[in-house]
A and B are shown apart, each in its own frame.
Chain A
Amino acid sequence: MKRLLFLTPVALFVVLIGVFFVSLQRDPSLLPSMLIGKPVPAFNLPPVRPGDQGFANADLGGEPMLLNIYASWCAACRIEHPMLMRLRREGVTIHGLDWKDEPEAGFGVLQNQGDPYARVGNDRSGRVGIDLGVSGAPETFVIDKAGKVRYRHVGAISIEDWDQKIRPLMERLKAEL
């Protein structure tokens, strides 16, 4: 009995170290999205491209697709942009949300760096982004056929991110009914 008492510190310590070890592999700055498995909240945004029809939540769904949050003030978005252009060429549907930005500035990005988006809307006040739980740009949501959010990627999408996480997920979503 007494021995057991003296063993408790070691036992607790082993548990603690185990937890720490696993936690070391995680990124503490990543927040889980509240929207996983839920439909995208309703929105209807004005266009970024002049004369375009804008972007609403009703546009989402039908096929697996990406919803990308970008902005003209965001340096990492510029790094991500070529990747989005490549995905577009490969036939991936990407919708864009120009977050906390002037539509002219958001359109400037598309003119200078190319336009990867099927639909793109301007969220000047940032409120739609906040409804989506966005904390910065770029962020990318994977949307399934039913228009529900299945995954959120924070930061620029790298080739590894695409090959290892997002593409396999999109393929699985395509196979879903």
Chain B
Amino acid sequence: MKRILLITAAVTALSGTAWAVEPDEMLADPKLEARAHDLSREVRCVVCQNQSIDDSDAALARDLRIIIRERIAAGDSDDQALAFLTSRYGSFVQLNPPMRADTLALWFGPLAVLLLGAVGTFVYIRGRSPDKAAALSAVEEAELADLLKHDVVKSDGTKRNEAG
């Protein structure tokens, strides 16, 4: 706990010296600047809790923004510029998580849930289609009718105890 406090102290010392994207950082070429702007929105700041470096006013975030602009101005592709950062800070800086074996569940989980749910729904509805429901046995029909009679008493709320 104390260590976290110390880190926080270090981080606060770092920040406050700069503000998110400053005029002097920007590239002259608007096309390249737009690319750098977009890319830095996908890079997570490592010292501030949960912000992109584009939104962060931490000094390190500023350094990384400048690095991205340098790489892009030097002719790097977006992927190359991003790889420069991930080779130093790991996939933590990618707000867009990479597609890897360990992120398969993350990327395809939603679809899997949807498909499983669709199968479940299909089975449920089929089990309750009218022709199936009609297949109640005579005994079941009688039970049903009996239950319906009881319900009339209960649903009007006059009879409060659970009389069977």
Identify the A interface with B (CB < 8 A). Answer: 27, 29, 31-32, 34, 73-77, 79, 100, 125-127, 130-133, 135-138, 154-156, 158
Could you tell me if B90 and A74 are in contact, using CB atoms closer than 8 angstroms?
no
Give bound CA distance, A34 to B10, whole Å.
21
Give bound CA distance, A92 to B64, whole Å.
33
Could you tell me if B10 and A138 are in contact, using CB atoms closer than 8 angstroms?
yes
Residues of chain B contacted by A74 (CB below 8 angstroms): 10, 13
CB < 8 Å A-B pair total: 68
Shortest Cβ distance from residue A19 to the other chain B in the assembled complex, whole angstroms? 13
Could you tell me if A31 and B89 are in contact, using CB atoms closer than 8 angstroms?
yes
Shortest Cβ distance from residue B124 to the other chain A in the assembled complex, whole angstroms? 11
Contact count band on B: 20 to 34
User: Beyond A32-B90, A130-B64, is A137–B10 a contact (Cβ under 8 Å)?
Assistant: yes
Residues of chain A contacted by B88 (CB below 8 angstroms): 34, 130-133
User: Beyond A34-B88, A135-B46, is A76–B60 a contact (Cβ under 8 Å)?
Assistant: no
Any A CB within 8 A of the CB of B67: yes
Could you tell me if B46 and A31 are in contact, using CB atoms closer than 8 angstroms?
yes
Residues of chain B contacted by A73 (CB below 8 angstroms): 13-14
Known: A136-B10, A155-B10. 4 other contacts (CB 8 A): A73-B14, A100-B14, A127-B63, A136-B60
